Structure 1
Amino acid sequence: MRKIVQFKQATFENGTLNLHTDQTDLLQGTTAAGQIIADSDRYAFVYLAENEEEYVYLYLEESIWAELKKALQDKAAVIAKSGDYSLELDRFNEELDYLVSNIEGNGNYGDEMVKKVESAFLEK
Structure 2
Amino acid sequence: MNQPIVQSAGTSGNVTEFHLQEGAGISGMQPAGRMITDTDSGTFVYLLDDGERFVHVHFPEEIWPQMATAMQSGQTPVLSAGEHRLELMNFADELEMLVFNIEGNDNYGEAFSTAVEKAFSQILGA
TM-score (norm 1): 0.92
CA distance in 1, matches of 2:15, 2:23: 20
CA distance in 2, matches of 1:76, 1:3: 28
- SS of structure 2 residue aligned to 1:8: strand
CA distance in 2, matches of 1:98, 1:23: 31
Contact kept? 1:3, 1:57, Cα under 8 Å: no
CA distance in 2, matches of 1:3, 1:56: 9
CA distance in 1, matches of 2:74, 2:83: 24
The one-letter code matched in structure 1 to 2:46 is: Y
CA distance in 2, matches of 1:53, 1:7: 22
Match of 2:111 in 1: 112
Q: Give every structure 1 segment of 4 or more consecutive aligned residues whose post-TM-superposition deviation is greater than 3 Å.
A: none
Q: Superposition pairs for residues 8-87 of structure 1, below 5 Å?
A: 8-21=7-20, 22-25=22-25, 27-87=26-86
CA distance in 1, matches of 2:103, 2:54: 27
Q: Structure 1 regions of 5+ residues with no counterpart?
A: none
- SS of structure 2 residue aligned to 1:77: coil
Q: Structure 2 regions of 5+ residues with no counterpart?
A: none
CA RMSD of aligned residues (A): 1.4
Deviations 1:44-89 (A, max 9, x none): 1000001121111110110110111111111222111012110111
Once the two structures are TM-superposed, the CA of residue 42 in structure 1 deviates from its matched residue by: 1.0
Once the two structures are TM-superposed, the CA of residue 92 in structure 1 deviates from its matched residue by: 0.2
CA distance in 2, matches of 1:117, 1:76: 21
CA distance in 2, matches of 1:62, 1:109: 15
Contact kept? 2:15, 2:73, Cα under 8 Å: no
Once the two structures are TM-superposed, the CA of residue 24 in structure 1 deviates from its matched residue by: 4.3
TM-score (norm 2): 0.91
Match of 2:95 in 1: 96
